[in-house]
Amino acid sequence: MRKSSCVLLAALLSTACGVTSTGVQDGGPPPVISPKAAVATVYLLRDGKLEPSSVAVASHSMDNVMAALFEAGARSTSGLTTELTGLTWQTSQLTRFGTVRNDPDNADGFRLSLFVGGGRPITKKAQAQMTCTAMRQRQDIWAVTITRTDATGPVSYGEHTCREFWHLAAPGRQLPR
C-alpha cells in the first residue's frame, strides 16, 4: 500500500501543473543600454566677451553642467578662455523663489545657489559665466547666488541675473534674460 501511494504521488507531481515542457527557446540578443551623449551650452570668453560653447556633460543636472563649465575653460582650444581658472566647482542648491514676479505664465521660479572653492576672488566675468550658464539651462531660474569658500570661510558674491551681464555678450550673441 505504501509503495503504491509513493508511485501515485510521484505520478501526480510530475503531471500536476498540466504544462508540458517546450525546451530551450532563443529569445534573441540580450538588452544593451546605450547611453546617449548629453550636450549642454556653457559660456566661455572670447576676447573678454561671453560666447556660448557646446560641451559634453554626464547629464543635464546643474551640478554636472557647472562641472563641465569649469572643465571646459581649462581644456578649450578654440580660442575660448575662462575666468574660472584657480576656482573649483563644489555644488549647487535649488530653492523656491516664490511668487514675487508679475509673470502670469510662470508664477513660481527658483533661486539657484552656486558654491565654488578657491583662494582668489571671483571676477565679474567669472560670475557672468556661471550665472548665464545656469540661467540658460533652466528658464525657471530667476536668480543665481554665488558663494566662494576658502580656508577663512564663505564669501558671498550676492544675487545675480544674466541680464546684468548683457554688456559682456560677444558681438551678435544674445544672452539669457
Domain carrying residue 125 = 38-168
Structural domain contains residue 7: no
Cell matching residue 21: 515542457
Structural domain contains residue 114: yes
pLDDT tens-digit series, residues 67-100: 999 998 777 668 899 999 999 999 999 998 765 5
Among 9-23, 28-42, 113-127, 129-143, the minimum mean pLDDT is found in 9-23
Structural domain contains residue 176: no
Contacts of 111 (CB under 8 A, 6+ apart): 94, 95, 96, 97, 141, 142, 143, 144, 145, 159
Q: How many domains does the chain have?
A: 1
Structural domain contains residue 50: yes
pTM of this prediction? 0.75
Going by C-alpha positions, the residue among 51, 58, 69 that lies closest to residue 134 is 69
Structural domain contains residue 26: no
Structural domain contains residue 60: yes
- Strands 109-117 and 88-98, bridge-based pairing: antiparallel
Structural domain contains residue 24: no
Structural domain contains residue 73: yes
What three-state secondary structure class fits 59?
coil
Please give the pLDDT value at position 109: 86
pLDDT tens-digit series, residues 121-176: 999 999 999 999 999 999 899 999 999 999 999 999 999 999 999 999 999 999 98
